[in-house]
Amino acid sequence: MPFTKIWIHLIWSTKNREKLINKELKQILLQHIKENARLKNIFIDSLNCIQDHIHLLISLGREQTISKIVMLIKGESSNWINRNKLLKGKFEWQDEYIAVSVSESQVDRVREYIKDQEEHHRLKSFEEEYNLFLKKYHFG
């Protein structure tokens, strides 16, 4: 039996980075994503969101791909929000996302970063954070 542990930090935003996720939606959205992931055997270690984006720390199963997991979480959660009319308009996630590997030695640090999103974004916008991730990980 193979043993695998591949940590991935995922980040994606709402469509056009609209600030659609209010405090009420946040609570039920995060809970729903956790439950949906559990049902699909997706291991989410940590997740948090603010008004316009979400962060997740996941561990990939041996037969899972990043693109499949992202599709399952994004597609199902936006469909769930719209089906249950949790917002006045249509909810969509942006097509693009960031996925970076996390070494075991950095897992606690990433967990804290995800947990402290509200505080972190008092100092830096999502656009600034996004651009820093692109630069730090040499995307484009």
For the residues 32-38, what does the mean pLDDT come to? 97
pLDDT score, position 122: 86
Tokens 């041996």 sit on residue: 62
Q: CA 133, 29, 110, 53: dihedral to nearest 10 degrees?
A: 20
For the residues 70-91, what does the mean pLDDT come to? 96
pLDDT score, position 127: 87
Domain boundaries, the chain: 6-136
Buried-state track 19-52, b at ≥16 Cβ within 10 A, e below 16: ebbeeebbeebbebbeebbeeeebebbbbbbbbb
**Distance (Å, whole) CA 55 – CA 34:** 13
**Residue 52: band (very low, low, confident or very high) from pLDDT cuts 50, 70, 90:** very high
Q: Which two tokens stand for residue 99?
A: 């996925």
pLDDT score, position 139: 84
Q: In this model, does residue 2 exceed pLDDT 80? A: no
pLDDT score, position 11: 96
Q: In this model, does residue 128 exceed pLDDT 80? A: yes
pLDDT score, position 123: 84
Topology classification of domain 6-136: Alpha-Beta Plaits (3.30.70)
pLDDT score, position 124: 86
Predicted TM-score (pTM) of this structure: 0.92
